[in-house]
Structure 1
Amino acid sequence: MDNKIPKRNEVPEELTWNLSDIYKTNEDWENDYESAKKEADELQVAEGKFALTADSLYDFLKGYESCISKIYKLYGYAEMKRDQDTADAENQKLYARAQSLDVFISEKLSFVEPEILNLEEGKIEDYYKQNEKLKYFKCLLDEIIRTKEHTLSKEMEMLLASAGDMAESMQNAFSSLAYADLKFPDTHDEKGNVIQLTNGRFVPLQMSENREVRKEAFEKFYERYKSFANTWASLYDGQVKKQIFYAKARKYKSSYEAAVDRNNVSTTVCDNLINCVNKNLDKMHKYVKLRKKLLGYDELHMYDVYASMVSDYKCKVSFEEAKAISLEALKPLGDDYIKVLKEAYDNRWIDVVENEGKRGGAYSSGVYGVHPYVLLNWSDTLDDVFTLVHEMGHSMHTYYSNKAQSFFDSNYKIFVAEVASTTNEVLLLKYLLDKATSDKERAYLINHFLESFKGTLYRQTMFAEFEKESNKMAEEGTPLTADTLSGLYMNLNKKYFGEEMISDPLIAYEWCRIPHFYYNFYVYQYATSFSASVAIADRILKEGQKIVDDYKRFLRSGCTSDPVSLLKIAGVDLSTETPVQEALNVFEEYIELLFVEK
């Protein structure tokens, strides 16, 4: 691990994404910016009359589609520019302008949904008969009608839209503090060298074989977060209050109900997940006991969570090697799938390595009419290979959906967004297990699979419980302070990891660093998607082409039905606990298998 983090302009071009595929010049971005503003002004003129006839509604929605798609494109470009270097003032300015434009246009067009909902019952169906072309917007219109009881008057919708800039302040402040302003003390690597501790380096250091390296990094990292605990609590409290405000304004019973309804999913799905995982915490505790035994410790601490239980096997993977592995592992998904992956690798769809100011973690971002992009922070680990196929799964879902659907119909719900990514991870794991040439390698990979269950199915469900309980606390009048949030988090940590784990006091502050807590009940979908993906990948490998065809039909479906129904195309029913329970049974099987391997 090199001590120096490169500046953005020091990163080789081939390891950066090519955002000029979206806008070749700043002038092109400015032209679209002005064009979107102009289109919004022109659309606003139609207020009160755009839905009077089938033809006028169709013509209006075509212009509406053009305007909104420009906003997505402008915003996506600006967000990626910001994330590649969050300390760059020009990038920050561009992103702020995109946010402001989004709010401006939301205000201008806030009359659209209320006016459509004011049409008498059955009018839209009559319009479809009068103008067949209007069915192009059927999914959009169906979604508007579905949320009728939560849509307000034109004046109230405009008021809520005008609060958009303010509403994003907590998330923006979190990103600036966590990724640009927060500086960590130096720590030591396995060779005793002094190195700079960063968000990007924290997890790789936690994977070190040297326990003292892990302990030092853990304590310095979380002490730094703890020193700003009151600030993090204020930010999160503001985020929760925002969610509660919007939920109340839209006549939901709770912020939880409002969040899941946004994806056209019942609260039952998340409740099923939490209930099922809680009924199976014995399996997680069994895993923790196995970890303690294989590591050979009298006490297991939170800084031992990422250490490999199979420490005598080395696995370092370069980005070039990872690309080659991914192309082989994902072959079961077909030649067309592999062809697009190669295009992504050859044409700079991916921003690969960490640089100063770069956003931590990884993500995929879709730009309709262009192609998806992926942000990584590569560190040559096996985890990075899994992250690559995970994010490319997102990108391929976006690619297939964008190619098959119109702009509005392509925008699949967040609930299904993690399915394609985690299906890729399971396919990679099974490929690597099949290719393993030694018992040590097999044990190492089984360890990784168990880590996926621990990190995704259990950890993300724990996060979901934290969100659900903290929102409930706020709704019941309990102040969300650093103490109350840390106490809640510590209790959940003890429950999930069990008595065999020492829940070190500093782990109580882990909630401070989780960006997904600003995404409004996002995380539970990682766990439901992981459960679905275990089943889908297994069927792909066992049943072949028919299942691959069904799976791709799911990928191409965008938001043309509700998420639970779409997943049924791929053979998974998340309205029940069955997929979660079956995945947890697989987890237990692999725990037993690792006992045998070792």
Structure 2
Amino acid sequence: MSSVPERSEIDEEYKWALESLYADVEAWEDAYEDAEELIEVVASYEGEATADAETLLSVLDDYEQLMRAVSNVSSFARMRRDEDTRDDDAQAMATRAQSLSARASSAASFLEPEIQSLDREEVEALIEAQPELEEYEHYFDDVLRMKPHTRSTEVESLLADLGEVMGAPGEVYDMLTNADMTFPTVEDPDGEAVEITLNNFTTLQQRHDREFREDVYEAFYDEWDTVHNAVSTAYKNTVKTGSKLATARNYDTAREASLHGPNIPVEVYDTLIETVRDNLDPLHRHAELKREHTDGDDLQMWDLYVPLTETESPDIEYEQACEYVVEALAPLGEDYQSRVAEGLESRWVDVYETRGKQAGAYSGGTYDSQPFILLNYQDDVESMYTLAHELGHSLHSEYTSENQPYVYSSYEIFVAEVASTVNEALLTRHLLATVEDDHLRRHVLNQYLERFRSTLFRQTMFAEFEHRAHEMSEAGEPLTPDRLNDLYRELKSDYYEPAEVDDRIAREWLRIPHFYRSFYVFQYSTGISAAVALARAIDEEGDEAAERYRAFLASGSSDYPLELLRTAGVDMSESSPIEDAIAEYDDNLDRMADLL
């Protein structure tokens, strides 16, 4: 029987080095206590933050120390929990860290309203009186921009206190799906029992035996049906929370509130959906290629992940994947490439799936720590691409932390997904240009097409789903399980027109964790569109474009996302990058059709 190992069975070299952040839980407890003391220090400034330039600088310095401490404490606790979501002690640490973060936000909730009590001329006078405030100039601009949507200190404190509670639906969903749900075991064509998990479902759907794919598909989605009401309730309350919070901050809709934070016009969201809707023909063509490639005359939902290759993915062991990725990133410059190589040797990555481990993948870490990457590596081409993707996030953080003060050390998801997807594009170009193994080349091209399909088209479909779900809720229409299923089925039918849409796939939305971060997924689609444009420029222009790109990575949040991307060379307020990306996808469909 194919089984998932316990964490204790994995060699240390394949586990992330959390001890580089805190040596042990005792050190974490000490840091937790220090952070609690800093909360009191920051709270003491309330009512006096803008009394004079020196006081403003002092509170900003102390606020930075507090948030850096909270970030370190929270990051460590989260990663400990994600190692094994069944671990009660680790769950308790994560819960305490969430509470600490909420208390810190509450204690500092006076700061921005007090800054907003000033006009721009008064802020400029403070900067002139204390030149060290100059580095906060963009921060002040951003804070003043939010003035119409910031409430009184009392209300802001209350909203900050409620932050922990408002995130409860997503936390319940995570615990339900990662710790409590157990998926069935199915028999493969060789008679071996295979356990379905959240991490291996997509891999199993890529098997070439059609009957096995159908068995996996039915067993997987039948299990989701057993938690249908619970997950629907969690999602309904996530939608309501976003809408209520938007109203509290004087926004018309939750989408407007979500996009206003990073200063992304809602027109960018609408342009994405309209442009993709107008260009579904290549996606339908991809689906037709899959129909022709399957054993049946029709295309079923369990056929959507089947690769356009004769055999299953070649085994790509983790070490080989690392080698390919490092080589592929050479066009970004020696500095970038050497940082990646060193990080892979320094245990940035928690590599393999283990029992209870958080599903999926992410890049984490803090301003004061090395990057940390959670993977659930499956020894296949897809996992290699996931590694390249997360390393893009990690290097973005590295460059930002080294080149920006803490106030600009974060960056919006809108630009983050560009950094990760450029790596994927470069990996594809490198492998198609250098690998002589036709078997691997076909799988690389297939992987490119699949990741494009699932990133641009699928995530746009998700974006349309959550936008329409929020519209329904905000119009007073109840988000019942059946209504959400109907909405999802309708979208699936439009986007995957050549395929048969059944009742089980109408429940697919239940398994999408990103829906608990409302209006998040559209940025995968804009990200891949921008990344294709930037990778093409790096390929055509060489060092000049690579230097421009590295400068973009080093910018953090020192400007607004659309402006940062314009500096890098792409304008995401227009439809052309999306159209150009789809055209490249269509060209690669031609290449695959020729191979077939």
- TM-score for both structures, normalised by structure 2: 0.98
Structure 2 match to 1:531: 529
1:45 aligns with 2:44: yes
* Per-residue deviation, residues 389-444 of structure 1 (Å, max 9, x unmatched): 00000101011011111112111111111001100001001111112426554443
Aligned length: 596
Contact 1:190–1:208 (Cα < 8 Å) also in 2: no
Kept in 2, the 8 Å contact 1:18–1:348? The answer is yes
In the other structure, the counterpart of 1:587 is 585
Farther-moved stretch of structure 1 (282-291 vs 374-383): 282-291
1:184 alignment partner AA = F
* Aligned mates of 1:46, 1:437 — CA distance in 2: 65
Distance 2:486 2:414 in 1: 29
Alignment partners' CA distance in 2, 1:134 and 1:121: 14
Q: Secondary structure at the match of 2:47?
A: coil
Q: Deviations over 1:497-555 (max 9, x none)?
A: 00x20112100111101010001111000000000111111111111000000000000
Aligned to 2:31: 32
Amino acid paired to 1:212: E
Shift in alpha-carbon separation, 1:432–1:50, aligned structure 2, 3 A: same
State the partner residue of 1:289: 288
**Aligned residue number for residue 92 of structure 2:** 93
Contact 1:139 1:409 in 2 (8 A): no
Q: Is the 8 A contact 1:536 1:571 kept in 2?
A: yes
2 CA distance for matches of 1:460 and 1:287?
A: 16
Match of 2:157 in 1: 158
Tell me what 1:446 maps to.
Answer: 445
Is the 1:313–1:441 contact (alpha carbons within 8 Å) kept by the matching residues of 2? no
Q: 3-state DSSP class of the match of 2:200?
A: helix
1:330-377 Cα shifts (integer Å, max 9, x gaps): 111111112111221111110000111101111101311111110000
Correspondence for 1:570: 568
Q: Does 1:361 align with 2:324?
A: no
The equivalent residue for 1:262 is: 261
In the TM superposition, 1:124-135 aligns within 5 A as 124-135=123-134
Residue aligning to 1:346: 345
- How many angstroms does 1:188 deviate by? 2.0
| 2:83 match | 84
1:139-193: CA deviation from partner (whole Å, max 9, x where unpaired)? 3222211111110001110111111111111111000000000011111234221
Distance 2:518 2:466 in 1: 8
SS at match of 1:573: coil
Structure 1 position 302 matched with structure 2 position 321: no
Q: How does 1:199-598 map to 2 (within 5 A)?
A: 199-312=198-311, 314-437=313-436, 441-498=440-497, 500-598=498-596
1:309 shift after superposition = 1.1
Of residues 100-109 and 83-92 in structure 1, the stretch that sits farther from structure 2 once superposed is 100-109
User: 1:393, 1:424 within 8 Å by CA — same for their partners in 2?
Assistant: yes
Q: For the residues of structure 1 that align with 2:270 and 2:189, how far apart are their CA atoms? A: 43
- Whether the aligned pair in 2 keeps the contact of 1:3 and 1:196 (CA below 8 Å) is yes
SS state at 1:199 partner: coil
Q: Normalising by structure 1, report the TM-score.
A: 0.98
Q: CA deviation at 1:486?
A: 0.7
Whichever residue aligns with residue 373 of structure 2, its letter is: V
RMSD of aligned Cα (Å): 1.3
**How far 1:17 moved relative to its partner?**
0.5
Which residue of 1 is the match for residue 108 of structure 2?
109
Hey, what's the Cα distance between the residues in 1 that align with 2:69 and 2:75?
Answer: 10
For 2:311 and 2:512, how far apart are their aligned partners in 1? 31
Stretches of structure 2 that go unaligned for 5 or more consecutive residues are none
Q: Output the amino acid matched with 2:182.
A: K
CA contact (8 A) 1:54 1:128 kept: yes
Report the AA paired with residue 188 of structure 2. Answer: D
Q: Distance in 2 between matches of 1:582 and 1:342?
A: 32
Q: Structure 1 CA distance, aligned partners of 2:445 and 2:303?
A: 18
Cα distance between partner residues in 1 of 2:441 and 2:364: 34
2:278 is aligned with what amino acid? K
Instruction: Encode CA deviations 1:36-58: one digit per residue, 9 max, x unaligned.
Output: 11111122122111211111101
Provide the secondary structure at the position in 2 that maps to 1:376.
strand
Partners of 2:138 and 2:65 in 1: CA distance: 16
CA distance in 1: counterparts of 2:190 and 2:395, whole angstroms: 40
Residue of structure 2 in register with 1:10 after alignment: 9
Amino acid in structure 2 at the alignment position of 1:102: S
2:106 is paired with a residue whose SS is helix
Q: Could you tell me whether the CA contact under 8 Å between 1:185 and 1:220 is conserved in 2?
A: yes
Distance 1:187 1:260 in 2: 43
Contact 1:189 1:205 in 2 (8 A): no
Q: Measure the CA separation in 2 of the matches of 1:191 and 1:433.
A: 33
Aligned residue identity for 1:289:
E
Quickly say closer, same or farther: Cα 1:77–1:117, change in 2 above 3 A.
Answer: same
What secondary structure, in the 3-state scheme, does the structure 1 residue paired with 2:377 have? coil
User: Partners in 1 of 2:470 and 2:386 — Cα distance?
Assistant: 30
Task: Give the Cα–Cα distance (whole angstroms) in 1 for the partners of residues 271 and 532 of structure 2.
Answer: 17
**Other structure's SS at 2:23 match:** coil
SS at match of 2:479: coil
- Aligned mates of 1:439, 1:297 — CA distance in 2: 26
Q: Contact (CA 8 Å) 2:410, 2:556: kept in 1 or not?
A: yes
The amino acid of 1:194's aligned partner reads A
Contact 2:466 2:515 in 1 (8 A): yes
The alignment-based identity, stated in percent, is: 38
Which residue type is aligned with residue 349 of structure 1? W
CA contact (8 A) 2:170 2:516 kept: yes
In structure 1, what is the Cα distance between the partners aligned to 2:257 and 2:150?
12
Taking the aligned partners of 1:133 and 1:437, their CA distance within structure 2 comes to 56
**Closer, same or farther in 2 for the Cα pair 1:565/1:121, shift >3 Å?**
closer
Q: Note closer, same or farther for the CA distance 1:439–1:87 as it changes in structure 2 (3 Å cut).
A: closer
Query: For 2:151, what is the secondary structure of its paired residue?
Result: coil
* CA deviation string 1:270-315 (max 9, x = no partner): 1110000000112211111122113353011111111111124751
* Alignment CA distance shift 1:442-1:18 (3 Å): closer
SS in 2 for 1:300: coil
Quick one: distance in 1 between partners of 2:310 and 2:147? 56
